[in-house]
Structure 1
Amino acid sequence: MREQDFERLFERARRRAVRHPRVFRALVTVRATAGVGFVVLLGAVGVLMIGWALAPLFDEGLHEAPLLTVLQATVAIPALHLAQVVSRMLRGRFPPPDGLALHRDEAPALFDLLERLRRRFGTPPIHTVCITGELNAAITQRPNRFCGLPMRNTLVMGLPLALATSPRQFVAVLAHEFGHLRRQRVALGGLGCYLRALWHQVLENMESVASPLQPVFTYITEIETPLYCAESLVLSHLDELEADACAAEVVGAKRLGEALAEIALKHRFLADDYWAKVYAQANHSERPSILPYRHMAAALRAGFDRQAFADWFDALGHEQSDESRLSTHPSLRTRVHALGLEVPGEGASTDNAARRFLGEVVGQLASDLDQQWWQGQQRTWRKRHWEVSRALGKIAKLESEGQQLGVSERLELALLVERYAGDRDPLSVYRELMPQAPGRPDALLAMGRLLLSRGDPTGVAYLRRAIREDDAVGLQAAALLIEHYEDSGIGAAARPYRKRLGKLVRQAQLVQEALDAPLDALRSLPPGLEMHELRALVRDIRRHDAIRRAYVVRRRCDLAPRWRAYILVLCVERHMADALGDAAQEIESGITIPGLWRVTTVVVDGAEEAALCEVRGARFFSRKDGAVRV
């Protein structure tokens, strides 16, 4: 379904929800319950058919009418298939909440707060508290393992949330979550939420289950999935606004608005600034010296400019991404205005909720979360450190040659500086390169992209030249020009580039078909890559010990002759072919050489490698010496 059609469904559902919110929630729940019930009924029919088909085998029917009994028994085969299909469709993936379990004796102040809020809101108790590394909080409900009722409630709370908010703001956030529990009394309460989630899962399973009934299931999902997703999205917005209203009755609209804005501000700071600096340590250190959760409180106290608060909130009204109606939550501005506030107040407390409600256990929680984070990031971190170290060494070597560098080496230097030397300006390196290579499409693209990212309109000329020089690079250049003109408010100027982009996309599809063809189906041509481009491929390949040799060939599409299309072939031992699939995808996603690329694996010394050996200049890497071989 097109995005415009889905937006129309969303808008119609939103209007119904605004007029009759309780009725809307009840109808969506009934719709989900009926859908799940229909699937369960299909399963029951399958089981009953199995029983009917096999019953004569156990009541002497086989002796009285053997032929009829055998024919009747064959009905059990499609019935069994139907029961299996239904079991697969009802197989919901609802893992238990992930996080560190927190017990009452570890944080008595937090559990006392939860009990006071439970009594104030009149909700069921919180059975479990889990601490995660997210700047968020949620109360999840799962049916009882044995009878389904009563529901078990788990508070999933991020340690960053307690570090980022004052005690008053923290109480307001928890009040919002208890507001969800209070509102869920409507339409079967938490069980209704579970049924709605289960129906969404069933619809997803219908699309993937293999069965002769697949055309019927496809017809159902094509009609039901967009409508139900639109209604669920509206219901999600409605739940958030109603939970805000419930919380405002207890803690006050002003305090809740202040908490919502404070969390949004600090979420942006952590995502855009703090985590980027944490991961930037991999460029110069094998292990992080700043541990993300141990040092987060200090970073939140001093790491961002609070003077930008009012300007940032005012800018939200002009940011399409933050105001998108199709996100799972209403925008911050919508929520604040629904509370009757124009602009939320600014939090001024220097204390944080972690110190008040978690006490001494904060250090242990931060240490455990840091350990989990490092276990998940250790391999990627060290790989990044190795990659950056080699690249910086290559940069130093190239710069030591000074004026003796050729065009190919200067372009390699510019690419390395842009990708790995974050403290240096790559634009200056590209400027030095342009007089020597005025028509290089990749250099033109880089110049245009960097200039436009800095608000310099002279980048437009470079992108226009890149479109004329190379179609593969022109695809990216046209997209950048369209984005630039639309952001500048002159969308009419982007019209010829939209037409050009459409043509290039169609050509790209034809070239992709040529790339996807088997290696022996079409003629492979010498790659014609420069030395610095081959070295870049070697840097990505050398990290994977299973790769014995590597070849690169060029594919030509007669309907798009200007396109650069390459196949990178990795030769591995037979027993390693399947295990290298993820590595091949990783290498393909990391290739920066202009053109379309396909990375595939073949068996060492097989017939496919023998065919590649006949292409002049195709082999460029061998594990024997790990060097570029042309």
Structure 2
Amino acid sequence: MEKLKLKFLANLGFVYYLSLIIGTLVLLALAGLAMFGSDQIRLSGMRTILYMVAFAGALIASLVKTLIVKMPEPQGFELTEANAPKLWRLIEEIRNKIDFPPMERIIITHELGASVVEYYSYGVFGKLKRYMFVGMPLIMALSEEELMAVLAHECSHLSKAHSNSYFKLYRAKLIWSEVYHNYTEKSRRQNFLITSFLFRYVPAINNALFKYSRENEFEADRMAASITSPEALSSALFRLILLNHYLSSDFWPKINLLSRTEANAPMDVYSRMYRALQQSVGLEVQAKFIEFLSKEVSLPYATHPTYLQRIENLGVVMPVSLENTSDRNILKADDHPLIQSMSAQWKQLVSEKWKENHAEWQQNVNKLNILKKEAKNSTVNLTDPDKFEHYIHLTEAIEGHQSAFELAHSNLKSDPDNIDSRFHYGRLLLESGDEQGTDILKSVISDEPKYTLLCNNLLMSHAFTKGLKEEAFQYYQHARDFARSFSEVNEERSYIRDTDRFISHDLPNEAVARVIRALKATGVLKAYLVLRVFEYAPEIPEYLLAVQLKKDASKSDYLAVRKAILDEISPCWHIFIVSLGKKTLKVEYNFQQIADSRIM
């Protein structure tokens, strides 16, 4: 029964459009029969028929036009049997074992991951194409067996042996989301019959995908484990979590820092990554991640299960440590042709931005040297707020926190009344953990209103990290009261607009889980949580909670929702609550495009 529901939902868009076209033609035919069936056909009747034909033609053309969408062709380095024969044969072996249909192309990407997609060339028309995306870091990080397990997991989503109703629904989401985007972006006059349907249909697909996504992942895991081993998939998943952290927090930041001293991007970035990934991860680091993963909180609308849930589904336990896989990697060497080709492509992709960053850094170094020389010769006026602001920010960015602190301290000693020096001196003290910075920033607030938002925001963050929630709330209140004295701030925050910008909320899973429990107790049926971005006073963010309550909900129910979420998040943030319904379909559609926004 559930499979039938998914199939119906996946095909509902086609059925709706076809019904509109057939319905329009039937009405036109009936009107024509009525006209021509009468004894006399007057000129006005002929005009009416012509108008109806024109209207019907325009409607049908509009319907068909919205369905013809050129789907974007995947970009990237194409894997062939010639440039990586062993990897090609591995994928072919997987394809044969799990009855996976032929692929249009296999694309090597720069991400630490893999995926498969399928869609028609022109929205709902054209050839059905399938693509596999395999990340170069993924290929280099895993042993051959681990790589096979991960790729088998992805391929199983489209396997004939797999329950692929979910993936057909996912394909429908890709198609109809593109149809909606193309229609709303390019059509000046929008047809109510089309927009009202798409506003409801795409969110309905998303809701169904949320409901079945976890079981779909579990099923893919079991199929992947059946052609390799549960242990291989478990260790691969754990290794990817570790390496994702390493690449984002260590490897790529160090590579990006090279743009300061080197005019051109390195030609061997993936050779460097290969060598780095073959090093064993320290046992202490592994132990920290094992502890983190064992406590990871699962949220009801997360698209993927937690690592612990996945290995429990496989019937294995969490590994105590990971073995070094350097001798079992499919590429075997850091000078493999695929590594060289991807390094060359990466350099080409980042070359322009790299040169811009290098030129900007060198320009800032030159500016700082000039300012230093002027300061030494007393030809620069450090009491000028703009000049000093520029000087201290350049010093902090190029020479570090300590040099900036010494500059602020020196300038404050020579000019104790300089409010800008006092602000930066207090800021740098606070950022280094010195509580003296708190008193200095408070004095800055009382002497110079322009620093009110910045100082209160710094003090609030500092108090919050120390667990002083009530104190943090007071700083937030001061900042908010100050901001609300400006009409632009009040106007921007007074109501929700279609043009408002939202981003993913920044709450940890533990906090979201508490929010969900609190919302359930108030009778909330569905909820989205996002952060709202502002042009005025961006230092004071705002959570936006969109909820669907029971039909007979009262004002007291909404107040209970507000209190519940304020108590669970922290006392520091304002909550704007939106009621979901027919008038907020576009708002809900926009929220669904934001990662991790759906919490209930």
Distance 2:487 2:309 in 1: 41
**Equivalent position of 1:348 in the other structure:** 324
Partner of residue 404 from structure 2, selected from 426, 433, 441? 426
Bigger Cα displacement from structure 2, 154-163 vs 420-429: 420-429
CA gap of 1:289–1:376, structure 2 versus 1, over 3 A, is closer
**Equivalent position of 2:157 in the other structure:** 180
**Equivalent position of 2:98 in the other structure:** 121
Deviation at 1:297, TM superposition (A): 0.8
| SS at structure 1 position matched to 2:322 | coil
Deviation at 1:510, TM superposition (A): 1.1
Deviation at 1:392, TM superposition (A): 0.8
Equivalent pairs counted in the alignment come to 486
Equivalence map 1:439-458=2 (5 Å): 446=424, 450=428, 453-458=431-436
TM-score normalised by L of structure 2: 0.68
Partner of residue 139 from structure 2, selected from 150, 158, 162? 162
- What is the alpha-carbon root mean square deviation over aligned residues? 4.3
Distance 1:476 1:242 in 2: 50
**Equivalent position of 1:370 in the other structure:** 343
Residue 95 in structure 1 maps to residue 95 in structure 2: no
Check whether the contact 2:158–2:164 (CA below 8 A) recurs between aligned residues. no
Deviation at 1:104, TM superposition (A): 2.2
Distance 1:447 1:237 in 2: 51
CA gap of 1:334–1:93, structure 2 versus 1, over 3 A, is farther
Deviation at 1:416, TM superposition (A): 0.6
Distance 2:415 2:49 in 1: 80
CA gap of 1:296–1:85, structure 2 versus 1, over 3 A, is same
CA gap of 1:188–1:343, structure 2 versus 1, over 3 A, is closer
CA gap of 1:147–1:427, structure 2 versus 1, over 3 A, is closer
Residue 387 in structure 1 maps to residue 363 in structure 2: no
**Equivalent position of 1:543 in the other structure:** none
Deviations 1:10-62 (A, max 9, x none): xxxxxxxxxxxx82x653443242244213432444566678889999x9x9x
Check whether the contact 1:151–1:191 (CA below 8 A) recurs between aligned residues. no
**Equivalent position of 1:572 in the other structure:** none
In structure 2, give the amino acid aligned to 1:42: L
Bigger Cα displacement from structure 2, 278-287 vs 29-38: 29-38
Equivalence map 1:122-141=2 (5 Å): 122-141=99-118
| SS at structure 1 position matched to 2:154 | helix
Check whether the contact 1:118–1:124 (CA below 8 A) recurs between aligned residues. yes
What is the identity percentage for the equivalent residue pairs of Structure 1 and Structure 2? Answer: 22
Equivalence map 1:48-447=2 (5 Å): 65-87=42-64, 89-92=66-69, 94-143=71-120, 151-182=128-159, 185-186=162-163, 188=165, 190-204=167-181, 209-211=187-189, 213-214=191-192, 226=203, 228-289=205-266, 291-302=268-279, 305=282, 307-316=284-293, 328-344=303-319, 345-351=321-327, 353-355=329-331, 363-400=336-373, 401-402=375-376, 404=378, 406-408=382-384, 409-421=387-399, 425-436=403-414, 446=424
Residue 34 in structure 1 maps to residue 12 in structure 2: yes
Check whether the contact 1:56–1:69 (CA below 8 A) recurs between aligned residues. no
CA gap of 1:284–1:249, structure 2 versus 1, over 3 A, is same
Deviations 1:416-472 (A, max 9, x none): 122344697533333334445667676566556555555555544455445445555
| SS at structure 2 position matched to 1:75 | helix
Distance 1:340 1:456 in 2: 50
CA gap of 1:187–1:247, structure 2 versus 1, over 3 A, is closer
Distance 2:59 2:161 in 1: 35
Deviations 1:98-146 (A, max 9, x none): 2222222433322332233233323334453221222111122234889
Check whether the contact 1:282–1:384 (CA below 8 A) recurs between aligned residues. yes
Residue 474 in structure 1 maps to residue 449 in structure 2: no
Distance 2:312 2:436 in 1: 41
Gaps of 5+ in 1: 1-21, 515-558, 561-630
Distance 2:420 2:55 in 1: 59
CA gap of 1:207–1:149, structure 2 versus 1, over 3 A, is closer
Deviations 1:347-405 (A, max 9, x none): 3222353415xx89x74433433333333333322222222112111222222333835
Distance 1:455 1:352 in 2: 46
In structure 2, give the amino acid aligned to 1:402: K
Deviations 1:172-210 (A, max 9, x none): 212212332348843547544322332344455676554
Distance 2:285 2:329 in 1: 23
Distance 2:94 2:428 in 1: 52
Bigger Cα displacement from structure 2, 254-263 vs 103-112: 103-112
Partner of residue 481 from structure 2, selected from 486, 496, 503? 503
Distance 2:171 2:471 in 1: 50
Bigger Cα displacement from structure 2, 126-135 vs 220-229: 220-229
**Equivalent position of 1:599 in the other structure:** none
Gaps of 5+ in 2: 493-535, 538-600
Deviation at 1:259, TM superposition (A): 0.5
| SS at structure 2 position matched to 1:355 | coil
In structure 2, give the amino acid aligned to 1:370: S
Check whether the contact 1:139–1:156 (CA below 8 A) recurs between aligned residues. yes
In structure 2, give the amino acid aligned to 1:399: K
Distance 1:317 1:413 in 2: 47
Check whether the contact 2:78–2:106 (CA below 8 A) recurs between aligned residues. yes
Distance 2:246 2:442 in 1: 36
**Equivalent position of 2:523 in the other structure:** none
Deviations 1:44-97 (A, max 9, x none): 44566678889999x9x9x96433122221124443443354345435563233
CA gap of 1:315–1:285, structure 2 versus 1, over 3 A, is same
Distance 1:485 1:76 in 2: 70
In structure 2, give the amino acid aligned to 1:430: A
Check whether the contact 1:26–1:186 (CA below 8 A) recurs between aligned residues. no
Distance 1:463 1:491 in 2: 19
Distance 1:470 1:167 in 2: 63
Distance 2:67 2:199 in 1: 19
Bigger Cα displacement from structure 2, 101-110 vs 47-56: 47-56
